Structure 1
Amino acid sequence: MKLSVLGCGRWGTFLASYHCAKNEVLLWGRPGSRGLARLRAERRNEYQALPDPLLLGDDLAAALAFGPVVVISISAQQLRQLAAQIQQHDVKGKTFILCMKGIEVATGKRLTQVFREEVAQPVKVAVWVGPGHVQDFSAGVPNCMVVDSDDPATTDFIVNNLSSDLIRLYKGRDLIGTEVGAAAKNVIGIAAGMLDGAGYTSLKGALMARGAREIARLIRAMGGNELSAYGLCHLGDYQATLFSSHSHNRQFGESFIKGEPFDRLAEGASTVQALVRLGEEYKVDLPICQTVNGLLYNGLSADEVIPRLFSRSVKGEFDY
């Protein structure tokens, strides 16, 4: 099978290399991209060397025409712009797999909603999310991830054809819950880093429990299955996001509290604004998201806010 990967960051580059084991793959990067320039010059990035058969290119039309499956791995907030470019080409009948996690800040919409708003042609759309870091996968450490779509047949096709011993794919059956849960885990990851930075690492267990519960309430209010919050898309991704030294979101949260610079992409920093918006829209209390948002954007004091985060009014653990 032929497939293209759009986006040559660390995850997109890994996915292109991963799919090369069984498929013909073209990895696309934006014209002038520093990442693509390095890959062309050195056939590697800081995480891995590219397999010899992997093709590289910056022609979007050629990448979209290359095969029936197109994987997208870019910043979530850039998806609408890229989708609008994709709409300018004939992509009817193709399968698009969104391999990123986020919610559009400007609209509060899930990524599949954003994509379908811009790409009006009859295409199949799925998300591929869950735990795992490039560093671990590149070292041969396996993990499990989840694929979800509004079309079960599309989910089945992807899982049956792209799963392997390195990445075992599970079939999601709740697109709302899968997308919201995957996006929200990055926000909980920032909160975990903030706890680390403030010296409250021992509270990360409580953060895991209350974070999953908080996001479950939001998923339920949005019409999804609240149990998705306890699956691979969210709780199943906590180890990789709340504890791992590889997690950009956890590192960002810790650096923010310590007042240190951080120059890597942390999707949760944008997503938290969208989650707070959704909480207001669906009338769901999101104390952890609101705290992270307040610290990042409203000038709240970490010394005052973080110790109070888990000392709210007494109530049943599973009360709504």
Structure 2
Amino acid sequence: MDVAVLGCGRWGTFLAWYVNKVGHKVMLWGREQSRNFNGLRESRKNEYLLLPEEIELTSSLEQALSFAEIIIISISAQELRSFAKVLSTLNSQGKTFILCMKGIEASSGKRLTQVFSEEVGKNINLAVWVGPGHVQDFVKNIPNCMVIGSDNIEVTKKIAGAFNSELIRFYYGQDLIGNEIGAATKNVMGIAAGMLDGLNYSSLKGSLMARGTREISRLIRAMGGNDVTIYGLSHLGDYEATLFSMHSHNRKFGEVFVEGKPFDKLAEGVSTIKALKELSNLYEIELPICNALYEIIFEHKNAKATLEELFLRPLKYEFQ
């Protein structure tokens, strides 16, 4: 099968490497002016892996789309709408698109499949690829489990069957709303975990896990999804890779934020916090953890005091 991967950052480059590894022809697209793309073109490697010679590189979207039957997109979630507008001008008839990002559009609170469908069209094969795993582990042959989700079960089965291997074992996502919201919000919980680490409150991460899953499950239910999905691979299953791993950009962002240090990597959870503010208002759902993070990052409230108030507030029933 011919597959194009659009986006040559850490995850996109890994996806090209992985899809080639499981036996498919791959073309990797990057922007001509991209430092990542130029580095790959010069040396075929980044700080994580070496690309096999059989993976083609291109800076032409037209070439990438015409090459492939399956199109994997791995870019910043907040850039998806403008990118999809460009794709809508190209021939995408009969293609299957897979979104491999974890986020929510900050300005609207819309899920990424909604954003993509609005720009490219609803009559397309569209899926998401989410769940736990770090490039640093996969390239060392450390396996993990992930989820393919779509509104069309046949599309889900086709993708999972094509890419399943001993390195990544795929499960069928049965709830697209829950999988998308769960995947995006685990990054938010990762930021909270990093802040607790930075404040030397790491022991509170157990409370964060318990309360975070319940908080987001209420939101998913209000949005029309299955609240049980939050306890699957897309959210709770990704906690180890996000709340505890040294590789997690979101956890690291939270840690250095409370330490007053700069952070130069992409932490998608920051924009997702803005989106959750929109969703909280839209669905009239209280999201205490997400709201506390919004106050800390965007309203510049004291992180230590805000998180202490959140986790150490007066006695109350655990379940209500």
Q: Normalising TM by the smaller chain, what interval?
A: over 0.9
* One-letter identity of the residue aligned with 1:16: A
SS in structure 1 of the partner of residue 262 of structure 2:
coil
Matched, 1:38 2:43: no
Task: Say whether the 8 Å CA contact 2:71–2:98 is kept in structure 1.
Answer: yes
Q: 2:18 maps to which residue? A: 18
Matched, 1:227 2:262: no
SS in structure 1 of the partner of residue 311 of structure 2:
coil
Task: Say whether the 8 Å CA contact 1:110–1:179 is kept in structure 2.
Answer: yes
- Shift of the 51–109 alpha-carbon distance from structure 1 to 2, 3 Å rule, reads same
Compute the displacement of 1:283 (Å).
1.1
Q: 1:149 maps to which residue? A: 150
Q: 1:214 maps to which residue? A: 215
* One-letter identity of the residue aligned with 2:187: N
Compute the displacement of 1:121 (Å).
6.5
- Farther-moved stretch of structure 1 (115-124 vs 267-276): 115-124
Q: Structure 1 regions of 5+ residues with no counterpart? A: none
SS in structure 1 of the partner of residue 171 of structure 2:
strand
Task: Say whether the 8 Å CA contact 2:107–2:274 is kept in structure 1.
Answer: no
Compute the displacement of 1:313 (Å).
4.9
Task: Return the alpha-carbon distance in structure 2 between the equivalents of residues 139 and 96 of structure 1.
Answer: 28
Q: 1:194 maps to which residue? A: 195
- Over the matched positions of the two proteins, sequence identity in percent amounts to 57
* One-letter identity of the residue aligned with 2:112: L
Q: Structure 2 regions of 5+ residues with no counterpart? A: none
SS in structure 2 of the partner of residue 20 of structure 1:
helix
Q: Deviations over 1:296-316 (max 9, x none)?
A: 000111121111111335443
* One-letter identity of the residue aligned with 1:190: I
* One-letter identity of the residue aligned with 2:90: H
Q: Deviations over 1:113-152 (max 9, x none)?
A: 0000000273100000000000000111000000100111
Task: Say whether the 8 Å CA contact 1:92–1:121 is kept in structure 2.
Answer: no
SS in structure 2 of the partner of residue 309 of structure 1:
helix
Q: Deviations over 1:32-84 (max 9, x none)?
A: 11100000101100000001211101000000111110000000000001100
Q: 2:66 maps to which residue? A: 65
Q: 1:251 maps to which residue? A: 252
Runs of 4+ aligned structure 1 residues displaced above 2 Å come to: 311-319
Q: 2:55 maps to which residue? A: 54
Q: CA RMSD in A?
A: 0.9
How many residue pairs end up in the alignment?
319
SS in structure 2 of the partner of residue 127 of structure 1:
strand
Task: Return the alpha-carbon distance in structure 1 between the equivalents of residues 114 and 28 of structure 2.
Answer: 25
* One-letter identity of the residue aligned with 1:6: L
Task: Say whether the 8 Å CA contact 1:176–1:224 is kept in structure 2.
Answer: yes
Task: Say whether the 8 Å CA contact 1:126–1:155 is kept in structure 2.
Answer: yes
Task: Return the alpha-carbon distance in structure 2 between the equivalents of residues 193 and 306 of structure 1.
Answer: 12
Q: Deviations over 1:228-281 (max 9, x none)?
A: 110000000000000000000000000000001100000000001101210111
Task: Return the alpha-carbon distance in structure 2 between the equivalents of residues 179 and 316 of structure 1.
Answer: 30
